[in-house]
Amino acid sequence: DVADAPGAGALVLKGGAVSFRGVGFSHAGRSRSIKDVDIDIEAGSFVGVCGPSGAGKSTILRLLFRFYDPETGAVAIDGQDLTGVTQESLRDALGLVPQDVVLFNDTLRANVAYGKPDATEVEIIEALERAQLGEFLRRLPDGLDTKVGERGLKLSGGEKQRVGVARTIIKNPAVLVLDEATSALDSQTEKEVQGALAEASRGRTTISVAHRLSTIAEADRIFVMDEGEIAEVGTHEALLKLGGIYAGMWKRQSETGEGRSGEAQTAG
Ligand code: ATP
């Protein structure tokens, strides 16, 4: 529903710092979905966002992508209110690896180049290597020209996710958003995808929305949402010490084995 403001200019990137200041928003006909949300994300840092179902995590992402404008407060990138910049420049600045990466019924080349239509072959191969699909590519008889998707080669969940990561790497956005990017994967596959995601997020502002807390345990800062508000902020260690919502979620996930894998399994 949003439109470019008259005279809106392009977002000028200076590293990709993100801020939410006093942000409130309610979905039509609902009481407040989020209120008084303050989030400060330094350029180049890695933050996690977690919290119970319905806490407002997706609403935060939708406001960042400017699917809606806040009712109170402001969302900004590098100090520029998103309502004052062009949507095209905002879309260029943001990259998303979604829960479920969708492949088009086309070649692997076209599926990766979707992130940058004028990408060269060298760039496409480099993006696949960085997304840890180099081996996979070398095994394909038709290489980049292999058809993938519905009527082509069926990719595993982890391979599909990594094609999504390659797309994002080639796009090279200032701000990377991971929306529970590893939810549907077994732990070995999750490890491979995590490796690709770590490569994609290196030196880049990254916001990871997680149900499984192991995926954000190493974050510079974790924002814990509850009932539309930021309830707790801190590192994994600090939040465990605090003994609040995060610590409770971590304990539950540790007990059930849900949401823990890789490094974090031995850390807690
Ligand atoms: P989950 O972990 O289940 O994905 P979440 O933390 O992402 O949850 P949101 O999806 O942001 O939570 O939802 C926050 C609140 O806004 C909830 O009360 C939800 O019911 C409400 N909400 C979300 N989307 C809509 C919508 N399109 N229309 C009406 N209400 C909505």
Q: Tell me the pLDDT tens digit for each residue of 128-161.
A: 999 999 999 999 989 999 999 877 888 988 899 8
Confidence at 73, pLDDT banded by 50, 70, 90: very high
Spatial distance between the Cα atoms of 50 and 246, rounded to a whole number of angstroms:
8
Among 134, 142, 97, CA closest to 115: 97
Among 173, 167, 166, 157, CA closest to 100: 157
Spatial distance between the Cα atoms of 217 and 70, rounded to a whole number of angstroms:
29
Reported as a single tens digit per residue, the pLDDT across 165-204 is 999 999 999 999 998 765 566 777 778 888 889 989 998 9
Average pLDDT over residues 14-33: 91
Give the residue, by CA position, lying nearest to ligand 1 atom 30.
Answer: 27
Q: Does 89 have pLDDT greater than 90?
A: yes
Pocket test residue of 1, 25, 27, 227 for ligand 1, highest count of atoms within 8 A of CB: 27
First to last CA, the chain: 44
pTM value is: 0.90
Q: Does 263 have pLDDT greater than 70?
A: no
Spatial distance between the Cα atoms of 219 and 118, rounded to a whole number of angstroms:
33
- In contact, 239 and 246? CB cutoff 8 Å: yes
Confidence at 95, pLDDT banded by 50, 70, 90: very high
Confidence at 35, pLDDT banded by 50, 70, 90: very high
pLDDT score of 262 = 41
Give the residue, by CA position, lying nearest to ligand 1 atom 15.
Answer: 33
- In contact, 51 and 225? CB cutoff 8 Å: yes
- In contact, 183 and 214? CB cutoff 8 Å: no
Tokens of 116: 């940058």
Q: Does 267 have pLDDT greater than 60?
A: no
Displacement of CA 192 from its chain's centroid (Å): 17
CA of 58 to the centre of ligand 1 (A): 7
Spatial distance between the Cα atoms of 23 and 60, rounded to a whole number of angstroms:
9
Average pLDDT of the residues of the chain? 90
pLDDT score of 259 = 55
Pocket test residue of 35, 58, 183 for ligand 1, highest count of atoms within 8 A of CB: 58
Q: Does 266 have pLDDT greater than 60?
A: no
pLDDT score of 71 = 95
Which residues does a 6 A CB cutoff place in the pocket of ligand 1?
27, 30, 33, 51, 53-59
Spatial distance between the Cα atoms of 253 and 257, rounded to a whole number of angstroms:
6
Burial grade of 187 (CB within 10 A; 0-12, 13-18, 19 or more): middle
Spatial distance between the Cα atoms of 163 and 127, rounded to a whole number of angstroms:
9
Residue bearing the bigger pLDDT, 141 or 75: 75
CA of 75 to the centre of ligand 1 (A): 19
Q: Give helix then strand counts, H and E, for the chain.
A: 10, 12
Average pLDDT over residues 37-47: 97
Pocket test residue of 33, 62, 64, 179 for ligand 1, highest count of atoms within 8 A of CB: 33
CA of 60 to the centre of ligand 1 (A): 10
pLDDT score of 182 = 59
Neighbours of 142 (CB within 10 A): 11
